[in-house]
Structures are given as structure tokens and as C-alpha cells.
Amino acid sequence: GRPAARDLTRILLCDARRQQLAPAWFNFVFSSVRLLALRKCTPRLDGREDALPVGIGCALRRAVSKAVVSRASHKALAAGYFAPQQLGVAVPSGGTKLVLSVRELLDADPTLCIVAVDVSNAFNS
């Protein structure tokens, strides 16, 4: 049930790594995304074939995450466990906080830079 999913998420994602109960590679494997290149039906204007990048995450992570955030009370609980690393679950103005944090980081260290990746039309939007 949902309480079991909540407990599983807490154990797998937070407590296990913090208490070093899970191996060091766990977070990498559990949070990694496999990329597939799907061929687009229509070629590019220059005649070359084009591909659509599709990311597929870990099925267990997706299932557990969906179970956890399916209810508002679980969202608040997840936000408490995942804070301050994530800004997407139950964090008001998460995007704004991210932008302001990056600005502060760049102001503090002028040797850092931001790289923007152009993904326009990556998903035929």
C-alpha cells in the first residue's frame, strides 16, 4: 500500500545513503536515465534523418515516486525528506529558488559558468 511505498522511498532514497547502508553506486543507478534515439518520421530540411531523444528512468524509482506524491500529505513528507536538494516536489516557487541560487553561486565564484543546451523542437513542440 501507500504507507509501504512511503517507507520504501525513505529507506531507498534518503536514509540508506545518508547512513551509508546502500553502496555508493546506488544513487547513480537508481536516479540514472537511459536515453533512446527514436527516428523521426520526417527527415530534416537538409535531407538527413533526425532523432528524437527519449529518456527512460528506473521503473522502480518511477513507481515509488508516483505512489509517494499521489497524495498531498505524501508530497509534504517527500519534500521534507528530499530538501534541500530537490525543488520540484511540494516546493513553492521552486524554479525561482533555483535561479536565485545559481545567481548567488555565480556571483560568489567568477570562474564558474552556465552552459545552456538548446533543445528546441526536441519533442516536436
Average pLDDT over residues 37-42: 83
Average pLDDT over residues 11-15: 57
Average pLDDT over residues 83-107: 80
pLDDT at site 121 = 63
- The C-alpha atoms of residue 44 and residue 42 are separated, in whole angstroms, by 7
Q: Is the pLDDT of residue 125 over 70?
A: no
Q: Give the DSSP letter of residue 52.
A: E
- The C-alpha atoms of residue 123 and residue 125 are separated, in whole angstroms, by 5
| Residue-range domain boundaries for the chain | 2-108
More confident residue, 18 or 110: 110
pLDDT at site 11 = 55
Work out the pLDDT band at 1, boundaries 50, 70, 90.
Answer: very low
